[in-house]
Amino acid sequence: MTGSRKLFVKSFGCQMNVYDSRRMADTLVPEGYTETATAEDADLIILNTCHIREKAAEKVYSELGRMRRLKQAAAEADRDVLIAVAGCVAQAEGDEIIRRAPAVDIVVGSQNYHRLPELIVRAGRDGPLVDTEFPVDDKFDRLAAPSAATIRARGVTAFVTVQEGCDKFCSFCVVPYTRGAETSRPVEKVTAEVERLAAAGVREITLIGQNVNAYHGAGPDGRPWSLARLLERLAELRGVERLRYTTSHPLDMADDLIAAHRDLPALMPQLHLPVQSGSDRILAAMNRRHTRTDYLDVVARLRAARPDLALTSDFIVGFPGETDADFADTLSLVSDVQYAGAFSFKYSSRPGTPGADMDEQVAEAVKSERLQRLQQAIDRSHAAFNRGCLGRTLSVLFERPGRHAGQIVGRSPYLQPVQVDASESLIGAIADVTVTEVASNSLFGALATRAGWGPTPPRTVFDGSSLPLQGRVRVRDAGA
């Protein structure tokens, strides 16, 4: 196909969606599409959606209302616009989406993105269609890879999906239904992708998966490799300076992975390890399959391996049956663990999950009050963690220009944003920075000036202006 049609992709939800959105764009560029940053001039609009909480799913429909008006305006100007809904709402709701939002042309489930070129042709010819089967072929084998120029334009950090799906079936969660059973990509495929990214100048790789530490991809020896082994292999690759992985389940925090936090210098001292609740009763009702003590034991072993590890978590308040005493256990866990930060959510009942049928749903006002108290506790813990960095010298990977002229922003090993007055030529470099000031959401610092010191130079010189503004967003749910 030729021509230059314009593609607008909007991603909601987690990093897996961000990654998938990019791979969809990579696959459509050779089909004659160029990416545009606004929906108004797009010929193809893809909303890559999230179903995790009710608000996230509802947001998609309000967005579709806006898209319908754009499509109408384009039709009046004799221009065809196709609207596709991808991701977890597509997977969960299928043709219901077309019933509710008839402007939608394509509903494509999370495992079928490699079929997009074909679906676009069919929808243009035959009208609206839905493709939400879980196919036997691996979408990652069939999606196109980005060019070196595209990789460079996306910045010096990158996500790589290594695992998809989830077999845990926590009783509140839709992911096992929207993403299917747990699968892992083979070691050699991941290695090839990381080599490509590193060769184009990416210096930090975050391995992602809904349950990433359950990784068990086939190794070159034909045996399943653990995440620790995969990390060890990637750390050997030229140009890979920093590694992270997310999101992990406490049950799969294996001994070799804990040891990797001690033994692999490239593995950053930061870990997102959601616990959801501090109450054993609620953990059991959530089907988390671990107790508070199990979790604290994993935390203690991780901190023995890597004492400065920055831990973050997710919490749900107001799960059915949660009492004041259960909630007090969650607050006390926050103070026991001393998190560097955490996300917290009000329980949202999801159709089809066991939680939705449980008695004793908690009143909205109680959830709101608990959420506020929990967030205050998390904020205190976050502020204390950041204060502990004051005066320390941390290595920072510079990612993009700062908000003010003459300023650049990078990430510390603990994933904190660090703002420094320095030249944009340092974007892509890793340099030591002494932290001089701590604000609520970022650190400020100055390049350290030690004798013999010099930043590790960028492997490629980046044109900072082309870097995405949100190089490494940790917000998991744009919708709620």
DSSP lists the bridge partners of residue 242 as 204
Binding mask 151-190 for ligand SAH (x = CB under 6 A): ---------------------xx-x---------------
**Rounded distance between C-alpha atoms, residue 183 and residue 111, angstroms:** 11
Helices vs strands, H then E, count in the chain: 15, 19
Interacting residues of 50 by C-beta distance below 8 A, sequence separation 6+: 12, 13, 14, 17, 56, 57, 60, 87, 88, 89, 477, 478, 479
88 interface partner picked from ligand SAH, ligand SF4, ligand F3S, none, CB below 5 to 8 A per type: ligand F3S
347 interface partner picked from ligand F3S, ligand SF4, ligand SAH, none, CB below 5 to 8 A per type: ligand SAH
* Size of residue set near ligand SAH by CB under 6 A: 18
Of residues 248-277, those binding ligand SF4 (CB under 6 A): 249
Q: Is 210 in the site for ligand SF4 (CB under 6 A)?
A: yes
**Rounded distance between C-alpha atoms, residue 208 and residue 214, angstroms:** 11
DSSP lists the bridge partners of residue 456 as 430
By beta-carbon proximity to ligand F3S, the closer residue of 16 and 97 is 16
Stretch in the footprint of ligand F3S (CB under 6 A) among 50-58, 338-346, 347-355, 453-461 = 50-58
Q: Is 24 in the site for ligand F3S (CB under 6 A)?
A: no
Cα–Cα separations (whole angstroms), residue 216 to 69, 230, 257: 46, 9, 12
Interacting residues of 351 by C-beta distance below 8 A, sequence separation 6+: none
Q: Which of 16, 42, 56, 166 binds ligand SF4 (CB under 6 A)?
A: 166
Q: Is 386 in the site for ligand SAH (CB under 6 A)?
A: no
By beta-carbon proximity to ligand F3S, the closer residue of 210 and 419 is 210
Q: Is 175 in the site for ligand SF4 (CB under 6 A)?
A: yes
Shortest distance (Å) from residue 13 CB to ligand SF4: 12
Binding mask 54-93 for ligand F3S (x = CB under 6 A): ---------------------------------xx-----
Q: Is 18 in the site for ligand F3S (CB under 6 A)?
A: no
Interacting residues of 59 by C-beta distance below 8 A, sequence separation 6+: 12, 478, 479, 480
By beta-carbon proximity to ligand SAH, the closer residue of 277 and 419 is 277
Stretch in the footprint of ligand SF4 (CB under 6 A) among 22-30, 116-124, 162-170, 366-374 = 162-170
Interacting residues of 254 by C-beta distance below 8 A, sequence separation 6+: 213, 226, 227, 228
Q: Do strands 106-108 and 129-131 pair parallel, antiparallel, or not at all (unpaired)? A: parallel
The one-letter amino acid code at 43 reads D
